[in-house]
Amino acid sequence: MPSFKLDDREIPFEPGDTIIRAAQRAGVDIPHYCWHAGLSVAANCRMCLVEIMPPPGRPALALAVLAWDEAKGAYVDQKKPKLQPACQMQVTDGLDVRNQSSAHVERARSAVQELLLLNHPVDCPICDQAGECRLQDYWLEHQATAKRMHDEPVHKPKGVVFGPTIVYDAERCIVCTRCVRFCDEVAKDPVLALRERGNLNEITVAPGRQLDHPYTLMTEFVCPVGALTAIDFRFKARVWFLRSARTVCQGCATGCNAFLDYDPRDGKVHRHRPRENQAVNKYWMCDEGMLDYHRVETGRVLRAAVDREATTVGAALDRAAKALKGIAPERLAVVLSAQHSSEDNFALLTIARDLLGCTNFFIGGKPNGQGDQVLRHPDKNPNTRGVTWLAGSSSPRSMQDLSAAATMNEFTVVLALGSETRELADAGPLGGVKERIVVTTHEGPLSRLATVLLPAASWAECDGTYVNARGLSQESEQAIGPKGDSRPAWKLLAGLAVRLGRDLGWRKLADVRGAMGAEAPPPSLPGSNRPSAGASS
Amino acid sequence: MAKALVALLKQSFPSAVLETHSQHGDDTVVVDPGQWHELAAFLKSSPAADMSMLMDLTAVDFPDRDPRFEVVAHFYSLSKGHRLRMKARVGDPAGTHVHIPSICDLWASANWMEREAWDLFGVVFDGHPDLRRILLYPEFEGHPLRKDYDAHKIQPLVEYRDVPSIDKIAPFRSDEGMSFGRQTHDNVPSADAPDPEIFPDSAN
Amino acid sequence: MEPLDEELTQAEIELPADPMIVNMGPAHPAMHGTVRTVVELTGEVIVKADVQVGYLHRGFEKMCERGTWTQVYPYVDRCNYISPMLNNVGFSLACEKMLGIEVPERCQWYRMALGELARMSDHLTCDGAMAMELGAFTPFLWMIKAREMIWDIMEEESGARLTHSFGRVGGMAAPPTDGFKETARATVDQILKVLEEVERLLLGNRIFLDRLEGIGIVSPEDAISLGWTGPCLRASGVPYDIRKAHPYMRYGDVEFDVPVGSTGDCFDRFMVRIDEMKQCARIITQCLERMADSGPVNVDDPRVMLPPKEDVYNTIEGTIRHFKIVMEGLKIPAGEVYSYTEAGNGELGFYLVSDGSGTPYRVRIRPPCFLVTSGLERVITGQMVADVVPCFGSLNMIGGECDR
């Protein structure tokens, strides 16, 4: 592999790499605003300037400048090396690049940083970006000087509403054009552009349009400063109070890797943001997924109920066990859920097959929705593939079949995980089944019919594994503690098994995972993708 | 300052000195815990070292490492005026088996400092004549300076002082005074916690 | 007169011959600070003693691991609360050593002057309390009055009498006030006068001398082995003073002597402190002479120092600088350091481990009086019960520092 020298460190690169990309792969972060690994190169912020040493025996590329000489008290002619943007400069074999070790580079960066802050408002105390803002980080690392300009700064529009999700503050904007390039290149909806020049330069929405494509929140995500803020997150939390859990988005079958940011002090979830995974979502997520975290709070089933009367989880489990004890296997219908993790579905399958001898399996989940070529998948369930694989030979049937069978009065008990019924518009016929036991995180058609309702913990409240549409099995981490009376569904089902007279010994998620792994390792899956911290770059 | 001493130690105990470094003028030897006592005795008796004082002895917890703890001793020679830091890495990641020889017989000052390290870190000093808790009371559960000891953990009431119907509550909320930069102190309840409501009769 | 209890037999009236266990403390009038000593007596002679500390343990070292480096100051204040300025300076020096910065000269003289004042307050308290516990109440009041004068200066300089939290990494929270030099000079003179009077009152007093001389003797070998430092070690005849042995700040540039005792008894420990206060006065005078009246006190380093408030409110650069230091804490490079200074009771060591973040990974405070107190058992074994009082007083056990 060819290599080049960065601050006297030998760094390998692949042909076609730019300096910044090769450095990043080697773990060296060259400061930058406008460059984003997932976008084209603009080279307009000039923060990533590096000095490239001339080949031996050749003169350096230099500019003639006038420099102030303190001793002489006059300007003198000087030569200064011409610096190159690391984001645009392609690496060649044996290139000698100076990053931190060059005084010229440090001076240039300090000057760039000073320029970017020249008209910047004193907004940190009210800015949502504060705490994760490049301007703050790089000021300390590369400038660290006080303000020299004491004139009134240039004022520009503040609080400009770009669309239903995004508000723009032109004064904070450093015009790096990341958002413009994102709309052009990734969302394929070139709705943002630049207007004016010089220090009046600002981002604007195309006349007659709003920023309203399905990926608008990504413009806020790529914004390195606080210019674009999400209406959803504005003034809600200060980021340094938040902690992040590595989760998998539940919005569709793509299974985007995400960070779920929550406040550990009150257990509230505040935002969802993408986590880099080149095999799945690269750097991005869609608006639907980013806003999907609201489901942790809304539409939840948090209390157990028997015949619509609220009760304790223990009592509801007792009642469910009573209904299931001694039931003829052909009179029992079990609904698996593409909304729940593989562990939850495995627990249900094990109990249904091994304890109850059930053969009638159905699969529930959300109905299909819109998809696109970027990230969004029409299947709005995170684990359809996982459930189908786990069920294997039991080949679950559709909810329509269940409805038809219920109309024929074939079943006495329905044991359902999740409360969604896919394309089945009218769940009414299921009401004809005598006992309807539903273990679910959210309200839905099934939970409304339930005679025994058990509250399950959502993906934010427990660990779980989800298999996306491409067959990648991904683990999602717990962020907050279970809400209300809810418990992980596998735990409720393990409790049910105890009440049915057989203790499967499952007390921790690891026990379920162990049993799941022992029965049949997933042959078709390309291995588990352990969550790894991804930089937002 | 004590470079010559580090070299001497390396020469005298080639197998025991695992690594050495010097930072901010402090010379450090990391040694094999099995030879902790031999090295300490050598430092005290060798005329070149003449470490008359054991200035400090403590421990540091690195929960991600194996061995998990560092026992750190600082020696000082009154006659030579030099100092040396000696460290040994001990303990399994679970922190249940953390042993190192006591050097109580060499310096009387080790007595209380080893008791303190036992008290706050759970490092067992083999051969210590009186290894009791020193800053905390005998009923205290856990070793508070371990990183996995929650700073807001509440200790059970001691039997003798138990008053029925009075709950012991923390005087502050758990996040009071929490630093913004520190990312590790979460108090999210685990979904794996024992659950008597779900599993009433069996052991959780 | 009638017998007290006619039921008592002769055997019961006799003193028990078995050893008797007596609890002294944790709240005993003669045990200032909260420490419990379980003594086993034969008659009035202590045959065995078990010193139990920890009653003031507040988990400082754990708390330090939760805040920023700057937030450690209030904790070190509350270690030795008689001379918190010395702790402030000690911790500052440890952090500055890791950062590789040195504070301006003016700050060094300022720190030394304040530190020596704090040392005087420490010794005044110790010797005053010692005298009081032996029945001499007047010197105690005089010395506490002298201490008040020092605390007035501290209040003027820092805004707080007791727990100043006045040190900062890279300087002090505020520059010296205009009247600092004048007040300090006047105070030092008055304190010297108080010392003179105290000496005249006590050193000719037969009872006072009899209760101190030859009591609680610690040999130099024992003191060294016990890890004693400071006045207690010097009273045993070992001239180890960090200010002389390893001068830090400007201690190498000032003239002072290190008072040393000869027998290592309670009286020597008392006198070493008295003499040391006189040396403190010498150092303070020199510091005040050499401290510039103007000039920077804090290092000009945006990594560690907060910007002026008008910058914070009016410029984005100032806001960012403030934000970075307050919200994330100043960052100390990863590594470890053992930094030691001469505090009121001896070597105050800080063993700091940093992981490079804004929060300390480990702050180990090596409290001098933890080890001094560990020697109490050896000092009082073989003495009479009444001797526990001067012995304990002469060790100057500060609960906050010992237990942390």
Per-residue HEC secondary structure of B16-74 comes to CEEEEEEECCEEEEEECHHHHHHHHHHHHHCCCCCCCEEEEEEEEECCCCCCCEEEEEE
- Are the beta carbons of A217 and A165 closer than 8 angstroms? yes
C-alpha span between B189 and B194 (Å, rounded): 11
Contact C317 A124 (CB under 8 A): no
A267 touches chain B (CB under 8 A): yes
* pLDDT cut 90: percent of chain A above it: 39
Nearest CA-CA distance, residue B186 and chain A, Å: 6
pLDDT at res. B59: 92
pLDDT tens by residue, C221-270: 989 999 899 899 999 988 888 988 888 888 888 988 999 988 888 899 99
Window 202-261 of A: residues touching C by CB (8 A cutoff) are 240
Contact, B72 vs B54, CB < 8 A?
A: no
Give the list of residues 6+ apart from residue C39 with CB closer than 8 angstroms, or none. Answer: C21, C22, C24, C46, C48, C49, C50, C380, C385, C388
Q: Which amino acid is at C70?
A: T
d(CA A502, CA A352): 12
Torsion of CA C259, C260, C262, C265, to 10 degrees: 90
Provide the number of CB pairs (under 8 Å) joining chain B to chain C: 120
CB-CB neighbors (< 8 A) of C349 in chain B: 55-56, 74
| HSE-up (13 A, CA, CB side) for residue A439 | 30
Contact C49, C380 (CB under 8 A): yes
**Average pLDDT over chain C, rounded to whole?**
87
**Assembly ipTM:** 0.82
Residue A223: per-residue pLDDT: 92
Q: pLDDT by residue (tens digit) across B58-74?
A: 999 998 888 889 999 99
List B100's β-bridge partners, or say none. Answer: B125
In the numeric block, which tokens belong to residue A415?
């044991």
- Type and span of the H or E element at B101: strand B99-101
Interface of B with A (CB under 8 A): 173-175, 180-181, 183, 185-192, 194-195, 197-202, 204
The pLDDT, as a whole number, for residue B12 is 83
How confident is the model at residue C12, as a pLDDT? 58
The pLDDT value given to residue A111: 92
Dihedral angle of Cα B42, B43, B47, B49, to the nearest 10 degrees: 150
Contacts of C48 in chain B (CB under 8 A): none
* Separation in Å, CA of B152 to nearest CA in chain A: 13
Q: In degrees rounded to 5, what are phi and psi of residue A421?
A: -120, 25
Report pLDDT digits (tens) over C326-340. Answer: 888 888 888 899 999
Q: Which of 119-148 (B) contact C at CB < 8 A? A: 120, 133-137, 144-145
Left (φ > 0), alpha (ψ -120 to 50) or beta: where does A150 sit? alpha
**Least CB-CB distance to B199: which of A498, A509, A510?**
A498
Residue C334: CB atoms within 10 A of its CB come to 13
Q: Which of A121, A124, A240 sits opposite C320 (nearest CB)?
A: A124
pLDDT digits (tens, 9 = 90+) for A422-480: 877 777 778 888 889 999 999 988 888 899 999 999 999 989 989 888 888 888 989 98
Q: How far apart are CA A433 and CA A333, in angstroms?
A: 10
- Locate the chain C residue with the closest alpha carbon to B57: C366
Nearest to C329, CA basis, from C357, C287, C364, C370: C357
Give the gap in angstroms from C-alpha B61 to the nearest C-alpha of chain C.
9
Which of A482, A494, A498 shows the shortest C-beta gap to B191?
A482
Per DSSP, the three-state class of A431 is: helix
Query: Is the pLDDT reported for residue A520 higher than 60?
Result: no
CA distance A519 to A347: 12
Most A CBs within 10 A among B176, B186, B187, B195, hence the mutation to make, goes to B195
* Range scoring the smallest mean pLDDT among A462-466, B8-12, C112-116, C175-179: B8-12
* Interchain proximity B191–A481, CB inside 8 Å: yes
Distance from CA of C338 to the nearest CA of A (A): 28
Contacts of B26 in chain C (CB under 8 A): 336-338
- Which of B175, B187, B198 is nearest residue A487 as measured by Cβ atoms? B198
- B81 at interface of C, judged by CB pairs closer than 8 A: yes
> pLDDT class for A398, splitting at 50, 70, 90?
confident
In angstroms, rounded to a whole number, what is the distance separating the alpha carbons of residues A154 and A168? 16
pLDDT at C30: 65
- Does the pLDDT at position A166 exceed 90? yes
Mean pLDDT of C121-146: 89
- What is the reported pLDDT for C301? 84
Provide the residue type at C79 as one letter.
C
Using CB atoms, list chains with 3+ pairs below 8 Å to chain C. Answer: A, B
Give yes or no for a contact between A95 and A52, defined as CB atoms under 8 angstroms apart. Answer: yes
Classify the phi-psi angles of C301: left when phi > 0, otherwise alpha if psi is within -120 to 50, otherwise beta: beta
End-to-end CA distance of chain B: 58
Q: Considering only alpha carbons, which residue of chain C is nearest residue A119?
A: C316
The reply to whether A151 touches chain C by the CB within 8 Å rule is no
At residue A528, does pLDDT exceed 50? no
Torsion of CA C325, C329, C332, C335, to 10 degrees: -170
Whether the Cβ atoms of residue C402 and residue C373 lie closer than 8 Å to each other: yes
With CA atoms as reference, report the closest residue to C161 among C117, C124, C191, C130. Answer: C117
Average pLDDT score over residue span C117-126: 91
Chain A positions in Cβ-Cβ contact with residue B187 (cut-off 8 Å): 264
Interaxial angle between packed helices C388-395 and C105-133, expressed in degrees from 0 to 180 and rounded to the nearest 10: 170
Residue with tokens 């691991």: C65
Q: Which of A57-61, B9-13, C9-13 has the lowest mean pLDDT?
A: C9-13
Tens-digit pLDDT profile for residues C187-220: 999 999 999 999 888 888 888 888 888 888 889 9
Alpha-carbon span A156 to A177, nearest angstrom: 17
**How far off is chain A from C77, nearest CA to CA, in Å?**
28
Q: Are C191 and C149 in contact (CB under 8 A)?
A: yes
* Contact check, Cβ <8 Å, B199/A243: no
At A300, the amino acid letter reads R
CB A228 within 8 A of CB A219: yes
Cβ-Cβ contacts under 8 Å, C323 against chain A: 124, 130, 136
Among A110, A134, A136, A174, most C C-beta atoms within 10 A, so best to mutate, is: A136
pLDDT band at residue B204 using 50, 70 and 90 as cut-offs: very low
Backbone phi and psi for residue C385, each to the nearest 5 degrees, phi listed first: -55, -40
* A278: its two tokens: 């080149």
Residue A420 has phi, psi (to 5 degrees) of -95, 150
- List, for residues B101-145, the tens digit of each pLDDT value: 999 888 888 999 999 999 999 899 988 888 888 888 887 888 989
Per the structure block, which two tokens stand in for A514?
Answer: 């162990």
3-state secondary structure chain C: CCCCCCCCCHHHHCCCCCCEEEEECCCCCCCCCCCEEEEEEECCEEEEEEEECCCCCCCHHHHHCCCCCHHHHHHHHCCCCCCHHHHHHHHHHHHHHHHCCCCCHHHHHHHHHHHHHHHHHHHHHHHHHHHHHCCCHHHHHHHHHHHHHHHHHHHHHHCCCCCCCCEECCEECCCCCCCHHHHHHHHHHHHHHHHHHHHHHHCCCHHHHHHHCCCCCCCHHHHHHCCCCHHHHHHCCCCCCHHHHCCCCCHHHCCCCCCCCCCCCHHHHHHHHHHHHHHHHHHHHHHHHHCCCCCCCCCCCCCCCCCCHHHHHHCHHHHHHHHHHHHHCCCCCCEEEEEEEEECCEEEEEEEEECCCCCCCEEEEECHHHHHHHCHHHHHCCCEHHHHHHHHHHHCCCHHHHHC
User: Looking at beta carbons, which residues of chain C come within 8 Å of A143?
Assistant: 317
Distance between CA atoms of C309 and A432, rounded to whole angstroms?
Answer: 73
Mean pLDDT, residues A161-186 taken together: 92
Contacts of residue C316 in chain A, CB cutoff 8 Å?
117, 120-124, 135, 147
- The answer to whether the beta carbons of residues C263 and C238 sit under 8 Å apart is no
Question: Residue length, chain B?
Answer: 204
* pLDDT over 90 (residue A354): no
CA dihedral A258, A263, A267, A271 (to 10 degrees): -40
Asked whether B144 and B117 are in contact (CB, 8 A), the reply is no
Mean pLDDT along residues A5-29:
90
pLDDT at residue A534 in the model: 36
List the beta bridge partners of residue A224: none
pLDDT tens by residue, B25-82: 888 889 888 888 988 898 888 888 888 889 899 999 998 888 889 999 999 988 888 8
Give residue A469's pLDDT. 87
Tokens 């020299």 locate to A148
Q: Residues C266-278: pLDDT tens digits?
A: 899 999 999 999 9
- Subunit contact A140:C303, Cβ cutoff 8 A: yes
* Alpha carbon A406 to chain centroid, angstroms: 40
Tokens of B140: 């205290």
Alpha-carbon span C16 to A2, nearest angstrom: 92
Asked if A178 contacts A222 with a C-beta cutoff of 8 angstroms, the reply is yes
Scanning the structure block, which residue is given the tokens 């009479």?
C384
Q: Please give the DSSP secondary-structure letter assigned to residue A504.
A: -
Instruction: Indicate if the alpha-carbon torsion angle A429, A432, A438, A443 is positive or negative.
Output: positive
- Report d(CA B143, CA B153) in Å as an integer: 11
Give B1 to chain C, closest Cα distance, Å: 12
> Does residue B96 surpass a pLDDT of 80?
yes
Q: Considering CB atoms only, which of B61, B111, B136 is closest to C54?
A: B136
Q: Give the CA diameter of chain A.
A: 103
Write out chain B residues lying below 8 Å of A503, CB-based.
202
Which residue, A409, A384, A402, is CA-closest to A333?
Answer: A402
Cβ atoms within 10 Å of B203's Cβ, excluding its own: 7
Residue A532 has pLDDT above 50, yes or no: no
